[in-house]
Amino acid sequence: MPDNSHLIDEIRDMLLDCGMFHSLLPAELLNAAGYFNIGQYEPDAVICNEGDAGTFMCIIHFGAVSIRKTNSSGETVELAKLRKGRAFGEMAVLDGERRSASCVAVSDCTLLVLAKDSLEKMLQEAPKSAAKIIRAIAVAMSKRLRMVDGQMVEQQL
């Protein structure tokens, strides 16, 4: 079996760098790192399509990702452009629903990828770390929802 401790250390450093998991202890972060992978994408590469099964989530370590949705007229609309530290795809991983939007690399991107089955495995093998990872994801989603709610209220005025 190859020694992948260097890769796990690199992923742990990337997890620390994104800021989303500051609530995890160093040992928990190192443990969780073993369940993540690194994905590389070139500009215009489709990371996932609206309607796909949600089998993984990503956290941007480097680069930018465009979040796009098709409107009722069949036109593609950019909802957001995400940069370093932002997560996407987490709703589908947590609720098992299909992708609500498409995600496309805007530039060269390095992403931390957590597959749904890896999250399930972490829940079995390291439940405390998994719970903290899920809580951190939920907190990030909650902050984003509050921000969108605030924007909607401003647009009503």
- Under 8 Å between Cβ of 81 and 132: no
Domain boundaries, the chain: 5-156
State how far the Cα of 21 lies from the Cα of 29, in Å rounded to an integer: 8
Backbone angles phi, psi at 70, to 5 degrees: -90, 130
Each residue's pLDDT, cut to its tens digit, for the chain (157 residues) gives: 456 789 999 999 999 998 889 888 888 999 999 999 999 999 999 999 999 998 999 999 999 999 999 999 999 999 999 999 999 999 888 888 899 999 999 999 999 999 999 999 999 999 999 999 999 999 888 888 888 767 777 776 5
**Consecutive H or E run containing 66:** strand 65-70
Outline where DSSP puts E strands in 93-155.
102-105, 109-115
* 5-156 CATH fold: Jelly Rolls (2.60.120)
| pTM of the predicted structure, to 2 decimals | 0.88
Closest to 55 (Cα-Cα) out of 103, 97, 9: 97
Distance from C-alpha of 135 to C-alpha of 118, rounded to nearest angstrom: 16
Would you state the structure tokens that stand for residue 77, as one six-digit string? 């609309």
